[in-house]
Amino acid sequence: MMSELADVLPMPGISSVDDEPSTSSIGGAVSSAGRRVGDAIGFLGSTATSGVRSATGRLAQEQRGATDDWGRDPVLVRNIMFLAQLRWNVSTGGDQHLPKRRGALVVVNSPRMSNSAIFTAFAISEAVDRPVRFVATRELLPVTRIDRRIGGLLAHPDEIAGALRADEIVVLGAAPTNGLRSVGTVDHTLIGAALASSTRVFPAATTSTPFARRARVEIGPATHPPRKRRGPLTELELADRVRNDVHDLLDEMGDLGTGTPFDWLPMAGMGGN
């Protein structure tokens, strides 16, 4: 993005003392520079807006403060997605695997301090033009009202099962890990919520780079348990299998990244690609 800004912002020249510019030329240069700065600001705005226009156009018609049955505020979500686009250039793959109208539980890797479930929920929502919720589990901060308002659900099987029965897409993060390519354990009781509601479970992998805008979410085909059982072993086996599928997706993606909050620092290169 810095190269685009360089195209619209003038480069200062060096003139000799004998070449004093006239008042009219100074005024013209200032006016031209002002227009170019305006063009640059417009470019930044259009870059952010284009990424969320299709996914959030319907949200613009909703009243402020309107919330759904789980407390999600679509207008707040739209505004946060707009801000996120200023930082991220997200590509989402595999969204064709997700059901068009039915519910789905999406399990994603969670680098420590990344809040990847929120990041993935926004990315999938943009790709499929549907509200996407996430299981709000925080390492350092407690679950707050803001989590509810942007689509967070409690990490409780009954609440997740209720959302899945209502045909909602829910993103669940695996346990946080320090390794960029490692995948933590998956809570089998929350996987049990998908089994109880007859909802399919999908693996997903996220990567990002701390010094550029590139980020990716890749969704794989649905994960199926190895066999049907009557007891709790079914959810345990399904949790292990989806964890392995997430790991395989990370290996296939190949591009290392962190996905941590440090990626949002200004030094991380807001305009990089």
Averages of pLDDT over each 10 residues, the chain, 273 residues: 40 42 49 51 44 47 66 85 79 94 95 83 92 78 73 92 96 88 92 94 87 85 81 87 95 69 45 36
Confidence (pTM) = 0.71
The reported pLDDT for the residue numbered 75 is 83
E strand or H helix at 169: strand 169-173
Which three-class secondary structure state does DSSP give residue 45? Answer: helix
CA–CA gap between residue 85 and residue 51 (Å, rounded)? 7
The reported pLDDT for the residue numbered 232 is 73
Q: Terminus-to-terminus CA distance in the chain, angstroms? A: 7
Strand partners, 111: 177
| Tokens read off for 35 | 């227009």
CA–CA gap between residue 155 and residue 167 (Å, rounded)? 18
The reported pLDDT for the residue numbered 225 is 81
| Tokens read off for 75 | 């207008």
The reported pLDDT for the residue numbered 15 is 40
